[in-house]
Amino acid sequence: MTQPELEDRIAVMLGGLAAEEIIYERVISTGESEALEKASELVRQMVMRFGMSEHLGQLAYGHPAASGFLPTY
């Protein structure tokens, strides 16, 4: 997926959160907190795995998660 496509997905995820804040005067439900978690994870992956950061450059940071039983080197 391209960076604009991923940014559109994030905007959709956060759109529900924004609407809920407007309608219910800043009362956040568990459903919207899940959307916030998913959007945050997608942003984290965009920066750390896909190198989609203007400030940090096109670098991948960290290692993909491996089995909890085997050390990563």
> How many Å apart are CA 73 and CA 18, to the nearest integer?
42
> How many Å apart are CA 41 and CA 10, to the nearest integer?
10
> How many Å apart are CA 72 and CA 28, to the nearest integer?
38
pLDDT band, residue 5 (cuts 50/70/90): very high
Q: What is the CATH number of the domain that holds 30?
A: 1.20.58.760
Chain segment 29-55, per-residue pLDDT in tens: 777 778 888 999 999 998 888 888 777
Domain that holds residue 46: 1-73
């907190």: which residue's tokens?
A: 33
Q: Which of 42, 43, 38 is nearest to 55 (CA)?
A: 43
Q: Which residue has the higher pLDDT, 59 or 6?
A: 6
Chain segment 6-27, per-residue pLDDT in tens: 999 999 988 888 887 888 776 6
pTM exceeds 0.85: no
> How many Å apart are CA 70 and CA 13, to the nearest integer?
35
Number of independent structural domains in the chain: 1
pLDDT of residue 42: 93
Q: Contact 12/21 with Cβ under 8 angstroms?
A: no
